[in-house]
Structure 1
Amino acid sequence: MFLLRLIIPDRPGSLGTVATALGEVNADIHAIEIVEHRRENGTAVDDIVVDLPPGVLPDRLVSACNSVDDVEVIWFSRYGAGGGLHMDLEAVEQMTSAPSDAIDLLIEQSPAVLHADWAVLLDGTGSDVKVVLETSATPEFGDVASAWLPLEKATILDPPAGHKGLAESVLVAAPLDSDRRIILVGRRGGPEFLGSEVARLSYLASLAVTIRATA
């Protein structure tokens, strides 16, 4: 599986043209998600998850997209989050089906929802910042997490310089039921989190807290 993040013209037919170009290199499109509309310049940011048959070089995906007028590939990588996109509504459905586990489910689902590599629940309500729950591939934090707390609102965080596990990552975080309990989500190497993705994480974090309160 591969993930392509594209900037395309925000007009009818643009996405279909990209899909046709990918089909010409025998790419099998598994999912498409509109990440952000950029109305100021008439473009949109789309994520496309595709698979390729054996023997087809991944570079052909980029070449196919670049062959379409006004389309720009801003990110391309292997996609290891389970072979499909878990949209926000699916995460909400899971949380509402098990309200007492809503925050745990948000941590579990966030890497897939945001096309990231890992997510972690950090708790700094005591004397030390503790990792309460983490997904696979979450790096060790050491004592750097204390610099992120308290966190008043969802925001992009700067990785600590020289930290072996985080230096190449992009980070986004949102407070949960306290400004010292946060969900932190990371991507290794990029792409940068967009403002719309920060807003989505903020919404889902608030919703998880609300749903858990109904348990």
Structure 2
Amino acid sequence: MTLRLRVSFPDRPGALGQVARVLGTLGADILQVTVLERETGRAVDDFIVSWPGAPDSAAIRERLLAVPGLRVEGVWSTRESPGSAPDYDLLRHVAADPARAYPTLVDAVPDLVGAEWAVAVSAGGELVHRSWQAPAGLEETGSLVGVKVADLTSLRPSVLAAGPYRLMSLPVPGAALHVVLARTEGPPFHRAEVDRACRVLEIVSVIAASA
């Protein structure tokens, strides 16, 4: 199984090596490390690892906490394929058929930021597009997964929680749409994930406007 682990630890020489050694003793094969943050003397990194058998999240957390000063922010399964370039693939498909820019975006963008599904919502609260992974029955009068649509259509990118969901809401430049991404596993979306999704969304909106 492929897992994503998000950890925060003191940004000092050798700390990353300690995390890698603990993962190695647990039998994990580190496939990719992504630096999300280096501020105020701490680092926040995402590890994509290949895990033998069924992972025990509690045991993973317990062993990692042996590293002094480390905090485990999330352990969750991922569809991400290290070494691939899903953002480039998404943009290539959008450029090939600009008329379907937003449906293509909604289907593909979850894999860019470790989300499970995405939808596009109009300013009036209509569910315009949904990814194939999105659960059935999302539509409710004036709300989506228990959150008022008005709270998902802010003028700026936002992150929030609703029940089991961690949500990211992104306004689409030049269109009366918001793209909303969700996951039930893992921590809230990090600002680095929000920034990545926003950059891709900006390019998609330019391509869509040219259709």
Q: Which TM-score bucket, shorter chain as reference?
A: 0.7 to 0.9
Q: Partners in 2 of 1:191 and 1:59 — Cα distance?
A: 15
User: 1:179–1:138: structure 2 CA closer, same or farther, 3 Å change rule?
Assistant: farther
- Does 1:147 pair with 2:144? no
The residue number in structure 2 matching 1:129 is: 126
Residue 178 (structure 1) shift: 4.2
The residue number in structure 2 matching 1:186 is: 182
Q: Partners in 1 of 2:37 and 2:94 — Cα distance?
A: 30
Counterpart residue type for residue 135 of structure 1: W
User: 1:98–1:189: structure 2 CA closer, same or farther, 3 Å change rule?
Assistant: closer
- Report the aligned-residue RMSD: 2.8
Q: Map residues 172-183 of structure 1 onto 2, 5 A cutoff.
A: 172-178=168-174, 180-183=176-179
Residue 85 (structure 1) shift: 4.9
Can you list the C-alpha shifts for 1:79-103, whole angstroms capped at 9, x where unaligned?
A: 0x4253587x531343145411443
Ranges in structure 1 where 5+ consecutive residues have no aligned partner: 160-166
Counterpart residue type for residue 156 of structure 1: V
Q: Partners in 1 of 2:116 and 2:152 — Cα distance?
A: 22
The answer as to whether partners of 2:152 and 2:180 remain within 8 angstroms in 1 is no
What number of residue pairs does the alignment pair up? 201
The answer as to whether partners of 1:30 and 1:50 remain within 8 angstroms in 2 is yes
Q: Map residues 64-213 of structure 1 onto 2, 5 A cutoff.
A: 64-77=63-76, 79=77, 81-85=78-82, 90-96=86-92, 98-99=94-95, 100=98, 101-124=100-123, 129-138=126-135, 140-143=138-141, 144-145=143-144, 146-148=149-151, 150-159=153-162, 167-178=163-174, 180-188=176-184, 190-213=186-209
Moved over 4 A (4+): 55-58
Ranges in structure 2 where 5+ consecutive residues have no aligned partner: none
The answer as to whether partners of 1:18 and 1:65 remain within 8 angstroms in 2 is yes
The answer as to whether partners of 1:123 and 1:132 remain within 8 angstroms in 2 is no
